[in-house]
A and B are shown apart, each in its own frame.
Chain A
Amino acid sequence: AQSVSQHNHHVILSEAASLELGCNYSYGGTVNLFWYVQYPGQHLQLLLKYFSGDPLVKGIKGFEAEFIKSKFSFNLRKPSVQWSDTAEYFCAVNAFTGGGNKLTFGTGTQLKVEL
């Protein structure tokens, strides 16, 4: 079965600092990878996704993520965070196991950006 690990549970940054959130997955086959964000009081929204091709994917709001197959990683980055990026960030994997294409999520990283 697939699993996802997010190593940073709480991150506090000042505005304009750079962000990198770690995500590692375990699954030997083909996967699709996602980062979702949950702003306070709101629902999960897709930030970006990787299916194939260029391992560096760009998402909304200046976020990007790099898929490194050899490291089973899909880290999320943003060069300069803003106060409005305060949210919880979830890495997820969709493994090709048949069935209904469920998502397996990491535990989430709570990001707080201070002014």
Chain B
Amino acid sequence: EPEVTQTPSHQVTQMGQEVILRCVPISNHLYFYWYRQILGQKVEFLVSFYNNEISEKSEIFDDQFSVERPDGSNFTLKIRSTKLEDSAMYFCASRISGGVTDTQYFGPGTRLTVL
């Protein structure tokens, strides 16, 4: 069964550094998402992406964050200058279309630790 994959599984970085989290959505999916989960807190929506542009973003997704689909398979989340509070598990998800009955499929997550 096709799966969403994410790399790396764990990223450790120094505060102020840039990080890029990578996701490979399921191949025929068209809608892509990033969520994050700070330890002990709920999973929070960051951004959705369709047709090479952001379709919705949360207040968390400020100017330090950006997303890109650089080729036909990868979907990346960039944090320009990481802060301690960016430490979290970041989940990528994809869905096949915008239909109301479509399910979002999640990747295994990348644990980001900012020191």
Binding site for B on A (CB under 8 A): 32, 34, 36, 42-46, 49, 51, 90, 92, 94, 96, 99-108
Contact = CB atoms under 8 A, between A and B. Distances in A.
Interface residues of B, number: 29
Interface stretch (B13-21, B49-57, B77-85): B49-57
A85 B103 CA distance: 22
A107 B43 CA distance: 7
Interface string B1-12: 000100000000
Contact of B108 (A32, A34, A42, A104): A42
Given A32-B100, A51-B101, A107-B42, A102 B56 contact: yes
A100 B43 contact: no
A107 B108 CA distance: 18
Contact of A99 (B4, B55, B95, B106): B55
A100 B42 contact: no
Given A51-B101, A99-B55, A99-B56, A44 B45 contact: no
Nearest to A9: B40
